């Protein structure tokens, strides 16, 4: 859970899901599909997205192992896009079977490296400093986001589900203040309560003159909420990663909102720009 430490069982589940997601993506890439198919609403092909996953998984495995690495962008969407493009040029492999092996091998390398270190150990990532276990949540989030893209491009079932989304929350809520769009947020002062449908857990997202603090509701900022937003889990994940329109999700009943300022719900997703 966001802001809380994982126990031994929670860490094992996170690592198991990292490997399971990598296996799902690898199986999709090995299923005789066409790597030249383009990802909808993106510049990459399926093969390029898979190559990016190999590189990203390897990067996170090295971070988990404590390798001293040069900066990979500076956390902004523009810098990360530039770093991603440069890395793909330097890594020309596009054979889907080879890339499938790479996605899985590097996920295993991450789990092996992370398993040797405390989950609370601080690490520096492309999205800023965080705990090692939050890096695992980051890795899972990243694989599921691009895995969803690949599955959508190939018209195959995706691999995102409620439990995996729950394991992504530590990273998503850690990253949220780092991807605020200042020009959109301006001097906003408002408190949101966020939650997933079917879960009692809630999180507080408080904007104070444009600055955002996110914490579990039990330990977050005190005071009333201006807007409560409860989302169907997969929809929440896709909106957070910029893969789904919040307006369409609200119209379909996948996002419910109420409170003193319920109209803030439709604008909430526009306050952030996913890298």
Residue-wise pLDDT for 53-107, tens only, equals 999 999 999 999 999 999 898 878 889 999 999 999 999 999 999 999 999 999 9
Could you tell me the pLDDT band of residue 218, with boundaries at 50, 70 and 90? confident
213: pLDDT strictly greater than 80: yes
Report pTM.
0.95
4: pLDDT strictly greater than 70: no
Residue-wise pLDDT for 164-185, tens only, equals 999 999 999 999 999 999 999 9
Q: Which domains does the chain have, with CATH numbers?
A: 8-176 (1.20.120.450), 180-271 (3.30.1050.10)
If one counts every other C-beta atom within 10 angstroms of the C-beta of residue 128, the result is 12
Residues in the chain: 275
pLDDT at 2: 45
Give φ, ψ of 200 to 5 degrees: -85, -15
Could you tell me the pLDDT band of residue 255, with boundaries at 50, 70 and 90? very high
Residue-wise pLDDT for 27-50, tens only, equals 999 999 999 999 999 999 999 999
153 Cβ neighbours under 8 A, 6+ residues apart: 37, 38, 39, 40, 46, 49
């Amino acid at each position: 859970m966001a802001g809380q430490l994982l126990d031994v069982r929670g860490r094992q589940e996170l690592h198991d899901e990292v490997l399971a997601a990598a296996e799902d993506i690898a199986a999709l890439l090995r299923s005789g599909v066409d790597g030249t198919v383009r990802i909808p609403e993106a510049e990459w092909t399926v093969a390029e997205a898979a190559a990016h996953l190999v590189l990203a998984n390897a990067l996170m495995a090295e971070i988990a192992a404590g390798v001293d690495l040069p900066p990979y962008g500076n956390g902004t969407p523009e810098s990360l896009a530039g770093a991603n493009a440069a890395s793909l040029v330097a890594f020309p492999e596009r054979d889907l079977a080879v890339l499938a092996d790479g996605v899985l091998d590097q996920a295993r390398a991450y789990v092996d490296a992370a398993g040797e270190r405390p989950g609370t150990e601080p690490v520096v990532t492309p999205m800023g400093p965080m705990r090692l276990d939050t890096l695992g949540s980051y890795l899972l989030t990243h694989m599921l986001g691009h895995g969803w893209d690949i599955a959508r491009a190939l018209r195959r079932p995706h691999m995102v589900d409620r439990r995996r989304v729950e394991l992504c929350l530590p990273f998503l809520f850690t990253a949220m203040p780092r991807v605020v769009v200042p020009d959109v947020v301006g001097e906003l002062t408002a408190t949101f309560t966020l939650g997933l449908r079917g879960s009692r857990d809630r999180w507080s997202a408080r904007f104070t003159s444009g600055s955002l603090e996110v914490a579990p509701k039990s330990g977050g900022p005190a005071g009333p909420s201006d807007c409560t937003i409860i989302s169907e889990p997969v929809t929440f994940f896709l909106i957070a990663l910029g893969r789904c329109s919040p307006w369409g999700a609200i119209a379909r009943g996948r996002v419910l909102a109420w409170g003193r300022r319920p109209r803030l719900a439709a604008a909430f997703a526009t306050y952030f720009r996913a890298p």
